[in-house]
Structure 1
Amino acid sequence: MRTAVTGLAVALPGVDDPRRLLAPAPSGAPAVDPAALIGKKGLRFKDRATRVGLHLACAALTDAGLLDGGELTVPGDRIGVVVSSNLGNADTVCRAVATIAEESTGGLSPMDIPNASSNIIASETAIRYGLRGPNLTVCNGITSGLDAVRWADLLLRSGRAEHLLVIGVEPDNEVTRRLVGGPVADGGAALVLGRHGDGGGTAAPRALLGPSVRAEGLAAAAARLAQAAPGPRLWLTPDPAVVPGGAESRSLADHGESSGALGVLQCATAVGWFAEGRPGPVYALLGGKGPDGAAGLALDAPGHAS
């Protein structure tokens, strides 16, 4: 069984199509406005990452044919959610800590407290769209986005769900800028994954997941990935120095620090690559130092032999 990308959404300033991820980031583009897609109702007390996550969920589920006019087209108990976000509610948590230090817990707003949950994006997505399958958040540093895709793949293969919504999202605000030392991408991407040939939606597969690897460092992960799925056409990695043989590579760095959203954005970029009729496989590669500190994933074009 192959796992397929059956739905997709991208939400970055000036970018709402995966093919545009292959081009330089537009300058001066306005921030994503979730209310323009899903309406203002229910967004008032949500943090920025949750609002954009809800936007991405709606767009990706609709693209996969699982959501039509705000109503699910399949049973919600067979749709799970995996979110990747390292910085998502850091502003809420820091604000709460500052309030407690100055005023004690009595100063906390009851409308703000739920946003301090580490699973707030995934849980709010499930509540709003009626998704009653497995629900979790991955907060695992630089590899978090690819780890979220891998966990979603495992949930599908184990039969825990028929569809998995994977969201990678990060907000740009004063707190997140302090944490990473510069601008954050302020958005992300979402994928809907399903079993190949059994997607259950109206959309055709956009890409097929191939082998995934873990290794100590990017170079080791690149070598292991190239061995597992030979013949790459494109490498997606923040460090082109590890790309073997001078193959084409993209980093997505000009969109800003993507942190936990980066791995999901890399998968979306692969879908954009295939949408332009280019061959695969495409390699997504992320990581740092330490045992199992780097992760890699190969993606194949739709119709690739299983």
Structure 2
Amino acid sequence: MTARHEVGGVKSVVITGVGTAIPGVREAADLLAPGAPDGGFDPDTGLKGREMRHKDRASRLALRAVAPALRQAGLLSDDGERYTGPGDTTAVVISTNLGNLDSVCDFVDTIAAHTVTGLSPLGLPHTSSNVIAGWIAIRYGMRGPNLTVCNGATSGADALHWAHNLLAARRADTVVVIGVEPHTEPAARLLDDGSGRSPLDGAVALVLESSERVAARGARPLAVLERSVRAADSATARAHALHGESALAAGLWLGLAEDAATASAVDLTARLGHCSGALGVLQAAAGVAHLAAGGPGPVLATSGGGATDDAAAALVLTGAGEVP
């Protein structure tokens, strides 16, 4: 075991809150359960209400996932309305590959049928690739860096990498990372590979902070984000993420079934379908739940590396009391 390398004076990046808005899922621990529990999130009722109006489906899902993550991190007022963290230095990082595709397609169809005179100015913001991050920032007054990662199969892990960098470089004190993909007709059409799996229709949110900040405000760290690595292939990404150690030593391996051929492996896509840009964040949420419940670490999560992917990613989580 080696001492953790300090970057920019930040000893480590920890996760303090997890929130989900996934059909049939109540909390992140349910992602590792063999079957869907009774009573989980229901989009038919959960995506309605005043603050859901005039927003695309992906943004509504993301908003529903952020609130419980902030609440668990101790950064939400008792009435659930106000963000109590450092608004000026809180960043929002979204991972989605198909989030607002339906809005863009609707606008293109309208232009084709009626020219630009048929467009509604109220819908124009939904065609921005950063619309989800924008709605989160507006809703909670988060005025730090604000970006969307749309990077194919590795997008979720890449978003966590950027969140880690923002904290390490002290560009932000807190980062909210959300992985979201909506089940819309254009997304379903693009992801149809003949397997019968449908797209994910949900979101997951994580709150990341430096260990120093968490200690200063007396919060509880749930897990440590050690590193997120991107490489040309899965084997290289795993080797760099684990510093050359065998992946079979991981306490939990989250990845595709063919990549994670070990008894400790869990393939979230087997239950949730095509997770696309949300996968890496979903894997991190499941890993946090595993570690917070006392499960053995480290947690290894792998994504990408398939025949049609341009890269592979691997991220490593450890328990809040572990030093790798």
Fold in common (TM above 0.5) = yes
Tell me what 1:66 maps to.
75
Q: 2:177, 2:206 within 8 Å by CA — same for their partners in 1?
A: yes
Q: 1:84, 1:148 within 8 Å by CA — same for their partners in 2?
A: yes
Task: Identify which of 10, 30, 45 aligns with 2:20.
Answer: 10
Tell me what 1:191 maps to.
206
Structure 2, gaps ≥5 residues long: 1-10
Alignment of 1:1-306 (within 5 A): 1-26=11-36, 32-33=42-43, 36=46, 40-68=49-77, 69=79, 70-181=81-192, 182-199=197-214, 203-228=219-244, 231-238=249-256, 240-243=257-260, 246-253=262-269, 254-288=271-305, 293-305=311-323
Deviations 1:137-189 (A, max 9, x none): 00000100000000000000000111000000110121111010151111021
Distance in structure 2 (CA, Å) of the matches to 1:211 and 1:115 = 33
Distance in structure 1 (CA, Å) of the matches to 2:190 and 2:42 = 22
Structure 1, gaps ≥5 residues long: none
Q: Which moved more, 1:177-186 or 1:82-91?
A: 177-186
Q: Which moved more, 1:257-266 or 1:60-69?
A: 60-69
Q: 1:149, 1:166 within 8 Å by CA — same for their partners in 2?
A: yes
Distance in structure 2 (CA, Å) of the matches to 1:27 and 1:162 = 35
Distance in structure 2 (CA, Å) of the matches to 1:277 and 1:27 = 21
Q: 1:228 to 1:193 in 2, by over 3 A?
A: farther
Distance in structure 1 (CA, Å) of the matches to 2:41 and 2:220 = 30
Q: Which amino acid aligns with 1:184?
A: P
Return the TM-score normalized by structure 2: 0.87
Deviations 1:105-137 (A, max 9, x none): 111122211101100000110011100011000
Q: How far did residue 25 of structure 1 move? A: 4.8
Q: 1:226, 1:232 within 8 Å by CA — same for their partners in 2?
A: no
Q: 2:22, 2:41 within 8 Å by CA — same for their partners in 1?
A: yes
Q: How far did residue 217 of structure 1 move? A: 1.6
Distance in structure 2 (CA, Å) of the matches to 1:293 and 1:236 = 17
Q: How far did residue 284 of structure 1 move? A: 0.8
Q: 1:32 to 1:121 in 2, by over 3 A?
A: farther
Distance in structure 2 (CA, Å) of the matches to 1:18 and 1:271 = 8
Distance in structure 1 (CA, Å) of the matches to 2:67 and 2:309 = 37
Tell me how many residue pairs correspond in the alignment: 303
- For the aligned residue pairs, the C-alpha RMSD in angstroms reads 2.3
Distance in structure 2 (CA, Å) of the matches to 1:248 and 1:30 = 25
